Each structure stands twice: as C-alpha cells, then as structure tokens.
A and B are shown apart, each in its own frame.
Chain A
Amino acid sequence: MSYIIQTKELSKLFKKTAAVDKLNLNVTKGDIYGFIGQNGSGKTTTIRMLLNLIKPSGGTVELFSETVSGGNIYRHLKKIGAIIETPGFYLNLSGEENLDIHRIMMDIPDRSSVDRALKLVGLSDQKGKKTQQYSLGMKQRLGIARALLHDPELLILDEPTNGLDPQGIVEIRDMLVNISKQGKTILISSHILSEIEKMVSRIGILHNGKLLEESSREDFRKKCGQSIQYRVSEPDKAAELIKKLVNGADISVNEDLVTLRITESDNNGKIIKLLVENDIEVKESKVIQASLEDYFIKLTGGSGHV
C-alpha cells in the first residue's frame, strides 16, 4: 500500500506534557483523511510536525514513502499545499498579489495559475481587493486557493471551514471531493464532525494527543451502529415485550418513545407484529443511524465536546 503520510511513534512534548503521544498515522494515496479531535487534542501540533514547522520529540514522519529529514524537506514541500490554523496574508496587498507572491516563492513560472486558483474558490471578482477588506470566509477561500496554487499532490488543511457560512462549507466540501477525484490526497482536520463525516474516506480520532481509532468511514459507520425508535401507546409494556423477543436488547424509554439499539434491523418486522398483537398502538417506527459525533463522544468518555 502506498502511504502518502505515515508517522511512526510520533511524539511531541511541551515541557513535560505530551501534546502528541506515539502517533501512528497512515494516510494512503487518494484518501480524504478526516483528522478529528476536540480543541487542544494535538491536531495542529501534528500538522506542524508533518510540515516540519516544529521538530518532533520522538518518532518519525514519512512523506511520499520517504522519511523526512532536513535534506529532503524542501523537495517534499513543493508537493504539499497547506492551511495552518488561520490563513495569514499581507493585508496591505490584494488577494491576487498575495497569491502571486506565493507563486514566485514556490517557483511556479505559470502566471495563470493565480487566476485559476482564484476562479476555483470563487474569488475572481474580488482579486483586486486588499485582503484586509476580506471577510474571514473569503480569507479561508483565499487560503485554500494558495494551498492549491502549485497543484500539490497532498493537501493538509487545518480547520479549513472555520468562519465559513453554511453555503460556503458545502461549496468547500464539494470542491475538496472534486480535488480528491483528481487523485490528490487530502488530510483535513476539524472539530466539527458533521462537516468531516460527509466528505472523508478515512477517519482518525485524536484525543489528548493519542490516536484512539483510525479506519475507513464505512467501518466507523458500522461501529456507530443504528437504533430503531417506536412511538407507541404503552411504552413500558412495549419495552418489556421487546426485551423478551430480543436477547440482551439495549432499550431506553423516554415518554412515548421506545429506543432499541441494534446492529441489524432484521427484527423490526417481528417487533411491530408483536406489539400490535399485544394491543399496543405503533404510531411511528424509524431507523436512526447514530452519528459519528455520538460515537466520538462515547469513545472519548463523554469529554469530547465537538
């Protein structure tokens, strides 16, 4: 398997506190990798180590299947586009001038790459405006344009949807999915799980500097599980009947709602039949997919407010 990013026992200590603790991250080519964790979990520190902005206290970083060292980092950086925390710009210059400065610094001879990048993020009309007049959302878009400017193989985006309105978030999400279809690999960190969930192919959950889980979105979905909710006339009686039918059923009752946590919905027909036969009116029945957010909170012991 071809890994674009692989870390081995990557650690970062600030004084005696481990911001990142023996992290083994595996991002394969073409992935949209969601790097999830609450604020202060070590996401940005990890990203800064991947980009050689800070030195790890231990472990190694491999980019494009090559261990990163002082000697080869500049070669790798040419293949990476990044947003690190908040996107910074020369506020006295326009968006176009900022991108042109970055173009020259990245040794890109093609001047039209600036216009292409601005068009891609929908800022062509605002390119002449000074960046100090840009809204936060516009700055985020310009940051993405800068990250895409040199057509990188790998995009590392630290909270790229911060400050964007809902429509902007959807647009960026669609854009990243399209970019990924071109064979590019994307590592995207966020603490807003609902955003990540809809676009990623793999997910890594970071908590207190440790990678708690890493697998594909489908695997996570399976782990998240489902539940069936029944709105019934006699909820306590219904719960007792379901318990008898389904061995070890995880049932909760709330007003007229009976919720059964399941791994498969095969029993649903049998349950409804059973309830009806016992003169319980079933007003509504629906299957609910547990969100990644619920799973995250469960995984982090309820401390992960995301």
Chain B
Amino acid sequence: MYKLLTLEFRKLKGTFLNILIPVTFLAPLILVLIQYASDQKTSLSDIITNSSVFIQMISLACVVISGCYITTREYKSNMMPYLAITPNSMARILFCKFILLFLETFLLQLAIFGALLCVNTVLNGFDGIIAFRFLTTGLLSTLFLSCLIPAIAFIALWRQSFAGSSIIFLVFFMFTYPFTFMSYGYIFPQLVPVILVSKFLGNGRCAQISYKSGIVVLSVTFAVFLYLSIRSVKKKG
C-alpha cells in the first residue's frame, strides 16, 4: 500500500496541481489581508469569520479539481488497462488516491488556517483561544471535506473525464449555493463542510444548522459513495 501511495505522489510531478495548491493556499490569505487593510476597524479574527464561507468554497473547489484530476488521469492517458494488468487490485489503487487526496486536504487546511493564525499573531499577538479555534477549524475542515472525496471520485469514474466531472460537481455546487444559508441546506452534502466550518468559526448566517444533522449527512455520503466508487472502479478496471 505504501509503495502505491508513493507512486501517486510521484505522478503529481509536473502537473497543474503544483500551481493550484499554492494558489488555493494563498487566495484566502490575500483576501483576508486586503479586507483588513481596507477596514482596520474590524478585527482580523472577525474578518476571517466573515470570510469563512469563501475560504471553504476555495478549499472545496481545490479538492474537487484535484480529486477529479487524480481519479481520471489514467482514463485520459489510456493507462487504466495497464494498471489493471499489474498485480494490484483497482480498489487498492483507488484507496491510495483517496489517501493522497486526504493528505492534500489536510496539508492545505493546516496551511491555510496555520497561515491565518500566524498573521493574526503578528498583528494582534498570540491568543491561545484563537490558536486553538483555528487549528481545530483546520482539522474539522479536513474531515468534512474528506467525506466528499468518494463522491468526487465516483462522479469522476462515472464521467471518466476530468473537465466533465469537475464541471458537474462545481456547477451543482453553484446552483445549490443559495441553500447554504437556509435551515435545510444540509440536505446537499457538498454544502455541509462550508456550513459547519463557518458555523464553528462563529459565522452567524450558518448558525441554524445543527452539527448532528450535517455530520449524519456527510457520514452517509461518505459510506454510500465509498461503496459506489469501489464498485465502479472494479467494473471499469
């Protein structure tokens, strides 16, 4: 398993993900700093809270694009049969892709919220409560976004096209985005990480949804799509 995971990392060499991930990391930081520079009356912590939905949307978009690319690249380059004739099961290869995506999400969230914490510390001094809140947010965000990885992989396996699958996911997200601030927004799994993380950061617009409902929806989504994606990759191998 470890060697397959190492190979997944090696395959990233020279891909656009090497640009996408730093951009995803820098975008929230730049947005928050611009807002802080133009409105110094509001504390940086409050700006981060107010921008939480945007920060999560960028992270989700990055996970969707990465997930679709990593899952479909073998289809695009006609590599699927060559993976299937090695003595490794397709389910195991897919599982390694999931781990890669989880690690990418984890590092990205840690980097985003770690960087925001550093900026806050430089500007306002170290605050243990804020530090704990930011780091917990990073971890929660990783877990919530990771629950969507099997769903992203399933759509990618279904479409077998990077552009097609990422567009489907992102367009669906855009159409359902207005439900983010409604009490039943949690019925759309792709909105749940945005809603719950924003709520945890104290964003009042997302306060009406309970953690319990959101976590149940994400857990079910994770389990169902994990099963479907493994079934799909076994069929199409």
Contact = CB atoms under 8 A, between A and B. Distances in A.
A88 interface: yes
Contacts of B212: none
Interface residues of B, number: 25
A87 B4 CA distance: 21
B237 A89 contact: no
B125 interface: no
Interface in A80-120: 80, 82, 84-93, 97, 101-102, 104-107
Contact of B3 (A90, A102, A104): A104
A105 B10 contact: no
Nearest to A91: B77
A89 B79 contact: yes
Interface stretch (B54-62, B85-93, B184-192): B85-93
A88 B73 CA distance: 11
Interface of A: 48, 51-53, 74-75, 77-78, 80, 82, 84-93, 97, 101-102, 104-107, 130, 146
19 contacts: A51-B81, A53-B85, A74-B88, A74-B89, A77-B85, A77-B86, A84-B81, A85-B78, A88-B78, A89-B77, A89-B79, A90-B77, A91-B77, A92-B14, A101-B7, A102-B82, A105-B83, A105-B86, A106-B86
B13 interface: yes
Contact of A84 (B7, B77, B82, B87): B82
Interface string B1-45: 001101100110111000000000000000000000000000000
Given A92-B15, A101-B11, A107 B87 contact: yes
Interface of B: 3-4, 6-7, 10-11, 13-15, 73-74, 77-89, 237
A88 B7 contact: no
B162 to A, nearest CB: 13
Nearest to A89: B77
Given A78-B87, A104-B3, A53 B82 contact: no
Nearest to A101: B7
Nearest to B75: A88
Given A90-B11, A101-B11, A104-B3, A51 B78 contact: no
Given A51-B84, A87-B82, A105-B83, 4 more contacts: A52-B85, A92-B14, A97-B10, A102-B86
Contacts of B4: 105
Given A104-B7, A130-B14, A88 B87 contact: no
Contacts of B11: 90, 92-93, 101
A159 to B, nearest CB: 13
B85 A90 contact: no
A105 B8 CA distance: 11
Contacts of A82: 85
Nearest to B88: A105
Nearest to B237: A53
Contacts of B86: 77, 102, 105-106
Nearest to A75: B87
B11 to A, nearest CB: 6
A102 B73 CA distance: 16
A82 B86 CA distance: 10
A93 B88 contact: no
Contacts of A75: 87
6 closest pairs, A vs B, by CB? A88-B78, A92-B14, A74-B87, A105-B86, A88-B79, A84-B81
Given A53-B237, A74-B87, A107-B87, A88 B82 contact: yes
A88 B82 CA distance: 8
